[in-house]
Structure 1
Amino acid sequence: MNKQNKYINRELSWLQFNERVLQEAEDTSVPLIERLRFLGIFSNNLDEFFRVRYAAIKRIENSTDGKGKRLLGGISPSRLLKEITQIVIKQQADSLEILSKIQHQLKDHDIYIIKEDEVDETQAQFLRDYFLQKVSPALVTIMLNDLDDVPKLKDSAAYLSVKMIQKKGKKFENRYILIEIPSSVNRFVVIPSENSKKYIILLDDLIRFNLDSIFNIFNYESISAHMIKITRDAQLDLEGDFNKSYIEKIMEGVKDRVDGDPVRFVYDSTIDQDTLDFMLEKMQIENEDSIIPGGRYHNRRDYMKFPDLGSKHLLYEKINPLPIEGLSLQGSLLRSIEQKDYLLYAPYQTFSYVVKFLREAALDPKVKFIGITIYRLAEVSHIASSLINAAKNGKKVVVSIELQARFDEANNIKYAERMQREGIHLIFGVTGLKVHAKACFIERLENEKVKRYGFISTGNFNENTAKIYTDYTLFTADQGILKDIKKVFEFFEVNYKVKKYKHLIVSPHYTRERFEEMIDYEIDNHKNGKPAGIKFKVNSLSDYLMIDKLYEASRAGLAIQLIIRGINCLIPGVKGMSENIEAISVVDKFLEHPRLYIFENAGNPKIFISSADLMTRNLDHRVEISCPIYDKDIKQQLLDTFDICWNENIKARDFSKGKNTYKKIKGKEVRSQFATYDYYLQKQNT
């Protein structure tokens, strides 16, 4: 069987995932404003896809050997770029239709999104005042006709392309202008209303409404404005001046993204052809670039922040995060963790335990050392504040902070500089490897001996994402596990020495090998009539060697259950290749983010929570940690929550049933995210 039939191309699989997000926006059972926010997520995902993945394929195509190269799935770069563009054009059209339907349905709830030509006299005065006070001072307006070169347009910023027709004697002259939509002003302007009806105008249309105010010094016959957007290659260039620090190079690389090659140009399909041609020529957008006709509005990612307007019935009901059974936020966490391990499953349970752990460590006179890995921090981070507090209290604090966490570089740099000023020792990753591991340990002096406490997670230590990402965090005082975490930090400092670990499985040195060994062990157990099986829950599965290993296990008769939220390059249910593999994806209210690996192990399951997906970068090119679970109660929790998700039959898509076909099971309906919350709620009441 050739590669084309064995694997799904990674990029095409990702587009299928984003289509699942779009399905949520289309689903009439989802609350209306939440549907708008799913449209925003879809758009934001697509922006990042073009900035990273599409740009990477273009670099391959333009490389010296790109013409004869084949990517995973047996497809050439040029053909893949064309397929992506075709799919995206279709998805964009679908998203516009969905948006139109949602806006129409909002009217049934007295919510009206109006355009500039729908403004009444009462609203007009408010909008003119709002424009003069809030918008006009933030506008950047570029007159293009007299410029030889157009200033570099910001990556993924939105612009109004204005065409002004002026009369010069008996002739007419076109003037072309760009107005940058200011990101400092809220995209959705809520117009005061004296009745129950609620009116919103998009900032774009507010500017259109005030075009005459902007250009009143010109004597023009007509004026029109259509939106355009350019997306650039987001690759950072870290080569160059050896005298510059790593932070300086990252900062310069982030600033230089404005100079990245254009990889997508999106425009309002109703724009005049002469205006479009002028813009493409001025910006040197070539025909082979991805030029995508769109609707009236771009940067629909802003719908992620669509105002709730006090309409709670149009939103998901907020859950109250539960406490962890037996672990009190009122007392000492360290004393409790000393007795047994605890598992946090956010957002069903409160992330406050992570912050409380660090705050307690910062104040405890017996704590002498704190080490933590940081990948993405919240914009206002209590995690960072707790670490700074610890340093001020004289503790040695070591932070491995990943400055190349894509699109969060500036935020991480801000905190890195602040922590550095406070005396925290920073480690900027390992040469050639991103540090994606999620771990923390502290050292506490007890009876003149050092005792360690810590936590390991599948997700970032970020208070904001912990409200919407599902992730496991293990709190433990297991000295063997914590000694291994300390070894990982020693590897950060002296990374030419490869450490050996007794408990943890650490990338890039051991994960692939150990996972393959455990799969082989399951195959042997199955052949010998012992209990055997594999259950994985991951964000992505794209490493073809790991896929081949799972195919091998399937051919040996091993039952395999896979829950894969995003990219999945494995084809399940194919006779002679993968008939014993079942695979589903769940996209719902929360973003499914945990990595969970379960090996049946002859009836005594080996269970790992991990920061690593089954992608080549996670296995071979990043520092990742997979942590074994030893506590029986926690093992059962992980088995139970996996099974709840596996039995999902409302929001699950079945990979073996074609593109994004919903999984159907006869019997009781199971919506796993709601059922998981009920599972933990019931544990509180028993």
Structure 2
Amino acid sequence: MTAASSKHSIAENTYYNRELSWLQFNARVLQEAKDTTTPLIDRLRFLGIFSNNLDEFFKVRYATIKRIAEAGKGGRSFLGGISATELMEKITNTVIEHQKASLDILKDIEQELEKENIYIINETEVSEAQSAFISDYFIQKVSPALVTIMIGELEAFPSLKDSAAYLAVKMEMSKDDDIFKTKTNYALIEIPKSIERFVVLPADGEKQYIIILDDLIRHCLHNIFSIFKYDKISANMIKITRDAELDIESDLSKSFIDKISKSVKNRSAGDPVRFVYDKKIDKKTLEFLMKKMNIDNTDSIIPGGRYHNRRDYMSFPSLGRNDLQYKKIQPLPIKGLSLQGSLFDKIAEKDYLLYAPYQTFSYVVKFLREAALDPNVTSIKITIYRLAEISHIASSLINAVKNGKEVTVQIELQARFDEEANIQYAEQMQSEGVKLIFGVSGLKVHCKACLIERNEKDKLKRYAFISTGNFNESTARIYTDYTLFTSDQKICKEINKVFDFFEVNYKIKKYRHLIVSPHYTRNSIYQLIDTEIINNINGRASGIKLKLNSLSDLKMIDKLYAASRAGVKIKLIVRGICCLVPGIKGMSENIEVISVIDKFLEHPRLFIFENAGDPKMYISSADFMGRNLDNRVEISCPIYDEDIKQTILDTFDISWNDNVKARIISENQSNRYRKNKKEKVRSQFKMYDYFKDKLEE
């Protein structure tokens, strides 16, 4: 997006467009792939993250805009003053620019890999010895998994799978051919997802070789099409992205699991929203494919490189080269909280805060395992949004049922792109006797909370943990998130109210401590901001510090603008979408915004209000987006323990002072790195040292 067009939209609306802001976030991810201080193999993995993000963007956001355009609506009010058609054009142009940059970065990385004796070769560079290995590998592993469709003379074109990569094969038939009517014929080969995309070839001394599965298949085209007589054969990559919106039927005779399961299966037949092709593809082949697939100008048509589905670079093989990857950290223990002995005894005395991945997520699993075995525990209630592929959380809950505990799981079957995994876990837990709740009609359940009830001296005592992120052992190694362990009975009682709301949701509960969406979050945050405005006007200490994944709700942005106009200093750390425009005189000159993209994915939501010198702070599952404020069940939990308050303030300040991986979010979102003459602070590295030092205090 050009600076001129940025200023135009800002002058008109005082907001940055949500979709274009998301693309600038993804550009920050691409910056990590370009950054030569990022380890070489991790640079490739950031390219994979960039590509994976883009796939999801087209499936969800671009698809929504396309539906608005096709409905004949301008969409200006919904899209912040820009028409759907104009926005689609800007998105396509921006994506083409980013894709071009990503290809240049990939070329640079490949050159650097060669300096490290790592060679990614194509089918034209295969040696005789490698050819023998490839042929055997193809026969044994690839050929049985291939789906090849002869499309040249098919009347009905096959439905291509969403985000699957295909080789579009063109054959120029020889004079001896007597099978086909036409002298040019076409086929599609689906690249199998069941086989690793990067095939490691036998090493030659210190030199290591990799061939991408696409090129391995190209090398073996003669094997696939040996029954045909052709003079020339070529293969170019194509990919189609489909609308990922779930269409849930209203048949009352079917269970919710069945409805979601069917809807997920039908997703593969969603309307196409993006078509990516190898820009070197033969023009006639491209025209043939687009005509057959009914690709039109409302779809985003992206000329790309030789390879698609570069998200697979997220799993690029390590090749035993630890020197070319980020050093793995050893997650630290929480000071004063041992994984030996009873966690209940410790948490009964005081609250504890876990900040993953700097501290070990094992505390969450240990707490559930202890609850499953403890004869004094009577019940466990937990919300589940995304689970690990092999989940110790799920196995602990099943173990608790087998030990006679009453286990209630609120599982969100509509967690985007994790529906199938959650359906499988739901069916497994249900068969073991876990009581399942499937949320509230019309609302996603996005909060992350667990409540454990225990008999102590003939009285019921509750324990809880509540988090900013998913109860997922896998992502806990790469996502930063806060989890609070508490036995504060006031907070625990209100968490129980949330679980009551899941089951009897026509009764709206009242809360004195938790802030709960969809009924209270928006107005509660407004009131907290208003308090800061009043404090500043009256000369008392004021200020707002927020850490968010996304900030796109325009009414909330207006409230922050009002606080800025009143003189309240506001510091925002926003990883992703930021529709707020900082630093504009008379509107937002008291607001500063940065975004930190680094080794770990910044995921916590944190709200800190100065409150006249007695800070109020909350950890939360909610971003400042309309869906989190008004259309989801979210929990923001207050922090009352003074030591934990100080820890949270310290961790916010460490992130805020980052001058290595922080980008300044400015008027045109140009992703300029924050550079200054102060001591270098790479916040994620400093954060680990901070918690390590606390253990030695």
TM category (shorter chain) comes to over 0.9
Partner amino acid for 2:462? R
Tell me how far apart the structure 2 counterparts of residues 519 and 172 of structure 1 sit (CA, whole Å): 71
Aligned partner of 2:48 in structure 1 is 40
Tell me how far apart the structure 1 counterparts of residues 164 and 255 of structure 2 sit (CA, whole Å): 29
Alignment of structure 1 residues 432-511 onto 2, 5 Å: 432-511=442-521
Aligned partner of 1:256 in structure 2 is 266
Query: What is the CA distance between 1:71 and its match in structure 2?
Result: 3.6
1:128 is aligned, of 135, 143, 155, to 135
5+ residue gaps, structure 2, are: 1-8
Matched, 1:667 2:675: no
Secondary structure at 2:660 match in 1: coil
Tell me how far apart the structure 1 counterparts of residues 644 and 223 of structure 2 sit (CA, whole Å): 64
Matched, 1:563 2:573: yes
Aligned partner of 1:58 in structure 2 is 66
Aligned partner of 2:286 in structure 1 is 276
Tell me how far apart the structure 2 counterparts of residues 294 and 504 of structure 1 sit (CA, whole Å): 48
Contact 1:9-1:71 at 8 Å conserved across structures: no
Aligned partner of 2:5 in structure 1 is none
TM-score scaled to structure 2, two decimals? 0.97
Tell me how far apart the structure 2 counterparts of residues 362 and 254 of structure 1 sit (CA, whole Å): 33
Matched, 1:73 2:84: no
Tell me how far apart the structure 2 counterparts of residues 650 and 169 of structure 1 sit (CA, whole Å): 65
Q: Deviations for 1:413-458, whole angstroms, at most 9, x for unmatched residues?
A: 0000000000100000110000000000100011111100110000
Amino-acid identity (%): 68
Tell me how far apart the structure 2 counterparts of residues 4 and 469 of structure 1 sit (CA, whole Å): 37
Query: What is the CA distance between 1:2 and its match in structure 2?
Result: 7.9
Matched, 1:106 2:117: no
Partner amino acid for 2:582? P
Partner amino acid for 1:12? L
Aligned partner of 1:30 in structure 2 is 38
Aligned partner of 2:4 in structure 1 is none
Aligned partner of 2:642 in structure 1 is 632
Tell me how far apart the structure 2 counterparts of residues 3 and 230 of structure 1 sit (CA, whole Å): 36
Alignment of structure 1 residues 645-660 onto 2, 5 Å: 645-656=655-666, 658=668, 659-660=670-671
Tell me how far apart the structure 1 counterparts of residues 182 and 471 of structure 2 sit (CA, whole Å): 60
Tell me how far apart the structure 2 counterparts of residues 172 and 150 of structure 1 sit (CA, whole Å): 17
Q: Deviations for 1:594-627, whole angstroms, at most 9, x for unmatched residues?
A: 0000000110100100000000000000000000
Tell me how far apart the structure 2 counterparts of residues 604 and 68 of structure 1 sit (CA, whole Å): 44
Contact 1:347-1:466 at 8 Å conserved across structures: yes
Alignment of structure 1 residues 301-450 onto 2, 5 Å: 301-450=311-460
Secondary structure at 2:495 match in 1: helix
Secondary structure at 1:189 match in 2: strand
Q: Deviations for 1:563-611, whole angstroms, at most 9, x for unmatched residues?
A: 0000000000000000000000000000000000000011010010000
Contact 1:554-1:579 at 8 Å conserved across structures: yes
Contact 2:66-2:298 at 8 Å conserved across structures: no
Aligned partner of 1:579 in structure 2 is 589
Tell me how far apart the structure 1 counterparts of residues 369 and 435 of structure 2 sit (CA, whole Å): 18
Q: Deviations for 1:49-103, whole angstroms, at most 9, x for unmatched residues?
A: 0000000111111124x13644443111000000000000010010001001100
2:147 is aligned, of 135, 140, 144, to 140
Secondary structure at 2:501 match in 1: helix
Contact 2:333-2:360 at 8 Å conserved across structures: yes
2:689 is aligned, of 678, 682, 685, to 678
Tell me how far apart the structure 2 counterparts of residues 333 and 468 of structure 1 sit (CA, whole Å): 25
Tell me how far apart the structure 1 counterparts of residues 365 and 175 of structure 2 sit (CA, whole Å): 67
2:165 is aligned, of 145, 158, 167, to 158
Contact 1:3-1:74 at 8 Å conserved across structures: no
Tell me how far apart the structure 1 counterparts of residues 400 and 645 of structure 2 sit (CA, whole Å): 33
Shift of the 149–246 alpha-carbon distance from structure 1 to 2, 3 Å rule, reads same
Matched, 1:228 2:238: yes
Tell me how far apart the structure 2 counterparts of residues 90 and 388 of structure 1 sit (CA, whole Å): 49
2:125 is aligned, of 94, 99, 118, to 118
Contact 1:8-1:72 at 8 Å conserved across structures: no
Shift of the 313–657 alpha-carbon distance from structure 1 to 2, 3 Å rule, reads farther
Matched, 1:606 2:613: no
Query: What is the CA distance between 1:288 and its match in structure 2?
Result: 2.7
Shift of the 102–476 alpha-carbon distance from structure 1 to 2, 3 Å rule, reads same
Query: What is the CA distance between 1:240 and its match in structure 2?
Result: 3.6
Aligned partner of 2:3 in structure 1 is none
Query: What is the CA distance between 1:313 and its match in structure 2?
Result: 0.8
5+ residue gaps, structure 1, are: none
Query: What is the CA distance between 1:241 and its match in structure 2?
Result: 2.2
Aligned partner of 2:26 in structure 1 is 18
Tell me how far apart the structure 2 counterparts of residues 656 and 573 of structure 1 sit (CA, whole Å): 7
Q: Deviations for 1:338-384, whole angstroms, at most 9, x for unmatched residues?
A: 00000000000000000000000000011000000000001100000
Partner amino acid for 1:102? I
Tell me how far apart the structure 1 counterparts of residues 75 and 537 of structure 2 sit (CA, whole Å): 42
State the superposition RMSD in angstroms.
Answer: 1.2
Q: Deviations for 1:262-300, whole angstroms, at most 9, x for unmatched residues?
A: 000000000001111111111111133111100000000
Contact 2:594-2:663 at 8 Å conserved across structures: yes
Shift of the 2–32 alpha-carbon distance from structure 1 to 2, 3 Å rule, reads closer
Secondary structure at 2:635 match in 1: strand
Query: What is the CA distance between 1:667 and its match in structure 2?
Result: 1.5
Tell me how far apart the structure 2 counterparts of residues 72 and 244 of structure 1 sit (CA, whole Å): 36
Partner amino acid for 1:40? G
Partner amino acid for 1:116? E
Matched, 1:167 2:174: yes
Secondary structure at 1:293 match in 2: strand
How many residues end up aligned between the 2 structures? 685
Aligned partner of 1:297 in structure 2 is 307
2:16 is aligned, of 8, 21, 39, to 8
Tell me how far apart the structure 1 counterparts of residues 48 and 75 of structure 2 sit (CA, whole Å): 37
Tell me how far apart the structure 2 counterparts of residues 194 and 28 of structure 1 sit (CA, whole Å): 27
Shift of the 210–169 alpha-carbon distance from structure 1 to 2, 3 Å rule, reads closer
Shift of the 544–268 alpha-carbon distance from structure 1 to 2, 3 Å rule, reads same
Contact 1:6-1:73 at 8 Å conserved across structures: no
Contact 2:170-2:187 at 8 Å conserved across structures: yes
Matched, 1:241 2:251: yes
Secondary structure at 2:286 match in 1: helix
Contact 1:4-1:73 at 8 Å conserved across structures: no
Contact 1:532-1:601 at 8 Å conserved across structures: yes
Tell me how far apart the structure 2 counterparts of residues 70 and 90 of structure 1 sit (CA, whole Å): 27
Secondary structure at 1:607 match in 2: strand
Partner amino acid for 1:84? I
Tell me how far apart the structure 1 counterparts of residues 79 and 629 of structure 2 sit (CA, whole Å): 17
Query: What is the CA distance between 1:468 and its match in structure 2?
Result: 0.3
Tell me how far apart the structure 1 counterparts of residues 550 and 75 of structure 2 sit (CA, whole Å): 27
Secondary structure at 2:360 match in 1: coil
Tell me how far apart the structure 2 counterparts of residues 607 and 467 of structure 1 sit (CA, whole Å): 25
Partner amino acid for 2:16? I
Query: What is the CA distance between 1:655 and its match in structure 2?
Result: 1.0
